[in-house]
């Protein structure tokens, strides 16, 4: 009888202990669930959906050439007075060099004067080569692959750069050859560049970007777009809540992607911090 009572008391204590453990685990789990579910909304950087200019381009290079150029050869001993050539600009009809025989060298057009010495030992090394270049406009001949023949046309805009300048020069396609070079499978096009400050000089190697297929369209930063398989999407912010929107992408320029459909001009998209964002989740905008 005493053994049965002891066994009964042990079982009661055992079940009470099990129940206490279960209850304790439940309340501990509830505590941590409440603690970690109350995480603050992730901070994100946003940008406004605005229209931008998007385009395609053909990039190549070519050598700068003066719009008009003239070369004169004179005998040193036939020059009257001191030779004034360095960084000299002349007008049309102005005397470049006065000669003793009276056959003065006169500028056929306005431009910059230069000279080139003839190497010693070369026949006529007592002569000087005088150059006259019209630098108001520069032309650049470029070779373009034949698959762009249907795109190239006079009047297309061009952007021209060179490592010597911290700027982009504006130009346009002036003319296009009527034939394709069979050895290079390319076509020759001439770019005309305004050079009002005479910065570009003949002989410089210039990088040329011919602009075509321009369109003014809404766009978002590339960092705002997430691509999963064949689907692209962005998150827009609506009253501090992230909302996922599938989009159809177009062209890409300057770190931006054009958007054909899926969002509207004026929408606020998340551009940074996307990895922490979920659809319908709260977010905190941290940029001004």
CATH number at 154 reads 2.40.30.170
State the total domains in the chain: 3
Task: Specify if 170 maps to a domain.
Answer: yes
> What tokens does 204 get?
């410089």
- Give the domain-ending residue among 92, 110, 134: 134
Among 96-105, 197-206, 278-287, top mean pLDDT goes to 197-206
Q: Is residue 27 part of a domain?
A: no
* Pairing, β 256-261 against β 205-221: antiparallel
Which tops the pLDDT comparison, 11 or 170?
170
* Apex 200 CA angle, 69 and 195, nearest 5: 80
Asked if pLDDT for residue 82 goes beyond 80, the answer is no
pLDDT at 171: 95
Query: pTM of this prediction?
Result: 0.68
Would strands 127-145 and 186-194 be described as parallel, antiparallel, or unpaired? antiparallel
* Residue 118, pLDDT score: 57
The mean pLDDT of the chain is: 85
First to last CA, the chain: 81
Structure confidence at residue 186 (pLDDT): 94
Give mean pLDDT, residues 237-254.
89
* pLDDT score, position 120: 47
Residue 31, pLDDT score = 64
CATH, residue 258: 2.40.420.20
Identify whether 8 is part of a domain.
no
Percent helix, strand and coil across the chain, each rounded to 5?
15, 50, 30
Q: What is residue 154's three-state secondary structure?
A: coil
Calpha distance 149→61 (Å, rounded):
17
Mean pLDDT of 205-221: 93
Is the same domain home to 195 and 143? yes
pLDDT-based confidence at residue 255 (cuts at 50, 70, 90):
confident
Last residue of a domain, one of 160, 181, 214: 214
Residue linked to tokens 């600009």: 89
pLDDT at 234 over 90: yes
Beta strands 43-48; 284-285: pairing state? parallel
Mean pLDDT of 246-258: 89
Please report which confidence band the pLDDT of residue 187 belongs to, taking 50, 70 and 90 as the band edges: very high
What is residue 286's predicted lDDT score, i.e. its pLDDT?
86
Q: pLDDT tens for residues 92-133?
A: 888 888 888 878 888 888 888 887 755 444 455 677 888 889
More confident site: 35 or 167:
167
Residue-range definition of the domain harbouring residue 187 = 56-62+137-214
pLDDT category at 35 given cuts 50, 70, 90 is low
The DSSP-derived string for 249-263 is EEEEETTEEEEEESS
Please say whether the beta carbons of 19 and 237 come within 8 A: no
The pLDDT of 178-187, averaged and rounded, is 93
């Amino acid at each position: 009888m005493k053994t049965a009572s002891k066994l009964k008391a042990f079982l009661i204590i055992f079940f009470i202990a099990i129940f206490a453990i279960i209850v304790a685990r439940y309340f501990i789990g509830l505590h941590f669930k409440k603690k970690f579910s109350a995480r603050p909304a992730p901070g994100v950087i946003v940008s406004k959906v605005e229209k931008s200019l998007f385009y395609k381009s053909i990039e190549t290079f070519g050598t700068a050439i003066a719009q008009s150029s003239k070369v004169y050869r004179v005998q040193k001993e036939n020059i009257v007075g001191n030779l004034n050539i360095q960084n000299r600009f002349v007008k049309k009809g102005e005397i470049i060099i006065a000669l003793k025989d009276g056959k003065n060298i006169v500028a056929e057009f306005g431009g910059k004067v230069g000279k080139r010495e003839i190497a010693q030992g070369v026949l006529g090394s007592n002569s000087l080569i005088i150059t006259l270049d019209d630098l108001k406009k520069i032309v650049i001949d470029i070779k373009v692959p034949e698959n762009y023949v249907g795109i190239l046309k006079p009047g297309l805009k061009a952007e021209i750069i060179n490592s010597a300048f911290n700027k982009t020069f504006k130009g346009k396609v002036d003319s296009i050859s009527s034939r394709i070079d069979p050895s290079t499978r390319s076509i020759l096009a001439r770019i005309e560049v305004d050079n009002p400050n005479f910065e570009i000089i003949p002989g410089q190697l210039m990088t040329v970007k011919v602009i075509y297929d321009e369109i003014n369209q809404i766009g978002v930063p590339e960092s705002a777009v997430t691509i999963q398989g064949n689907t692209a999407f962005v998150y827009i912010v609506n009253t501090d809540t992230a909302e996922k929107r599938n989009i159809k992408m177009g062209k890409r320029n300057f770190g931006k992607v054009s958007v054909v459909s899926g969002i509207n001009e004026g929408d606020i998209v998340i551009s940074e911090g996307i990895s922490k964002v979920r659809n319908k989740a709260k977010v905190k905008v941290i940029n001004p």
